[in-house]
Amino acid sequence: MNKKSFIMYVDHLDVLDYMSDEQGGQLLKAVAAYHRGDEEALEKYLQDPVVQVAFVNIRNAFEANAEKYEAKCKQRQEAGRKGGLQKAENQRKGKKANARKVANSSKSKQNVANQADTVTDTGTGTDTEKVSTSVDINKERYSSEYPKKVELSLPPSSDSSSKTEFECLNEWMPQNTPFVLKLAMQMSEDEYLRLRRTYTKAQIADGLQALNNWKQLPKRRTSVYQSLSDELTRRYGQQK
């Protein structure tokens, strides 16, 4: 073991008081030879029995300290090994969790992409719209009892007790787009109907959810209508 230092206790020096200067010098040189691993020099300096006896006591202390030092080094190596294994395990779990998140995100995007909108114009001045989905998770978005499916077509004007499409939207937003509701200027029914002349309800829902995912929205924008109009134009263009 290569070491750059060693411990010599004050008690070891007491023996020098009972030795001649020559013996004391030989003892210190013997200590130096021992730590340098110079066996030939060590044997030379231990010719005097007095020096030899004094050195044996000091050497025993050196050996005890060396054993303690080696034990501590092994403990640190083992702790480092366990720490490295734990770090590797944490990284493995983190990568596995990230992979699951990516897979879930891809699946969610695919579900949205699979949603198809069909619009039928009867030619009588009445528009009816049906939303069909290819997977169960894409239920009707404007339902006030989401995920239970609710028809989205405009109610007959003769039925005053039915909820309007705009009312269904306002019931849908608190649960699905809470950040959008933090904007200072909320969308009026006239503004909503203006968008409905250009975009489907599913497209408007997608636009609102996209805005809701922008966490800085309440700090950057003030108008729901203007923000939604910009988002729909960016996504779908100026449809007719």
Its pTM surpasses 0.85: no
120 three-class SS: strand
Q: What share of the chain is helix, strand, coil (3-state, %, to 5)?
A: 60, 5, 30
**Who contacts 139 (Cβ-Cβ below 8 Å, separation ≥6)?**
133, 146, 147, 148, 149
The pair of structure tokens assigned to 67 is 């054993």
The pair of structure tokens assigned to 32 is 């130096």
Dump the DSSP string for 152-182.
-SPPPTT-TTSPPHHHHHHHHHHHH-TTGGG
65-123 pLDDT per residue, tens: 888 888 888 889 888 888 888 888 888 888 888 888 887 777 766 665 555 444 444 44
216-228 pLDDT per residue, tens: 888 889 999 999 9
Compute the distance between CA of residue 142 and CA of residue 204 in angstroms, rounded to an integer: 10
Q: Between 28 and 148, whose confidence is greater?
A: 28
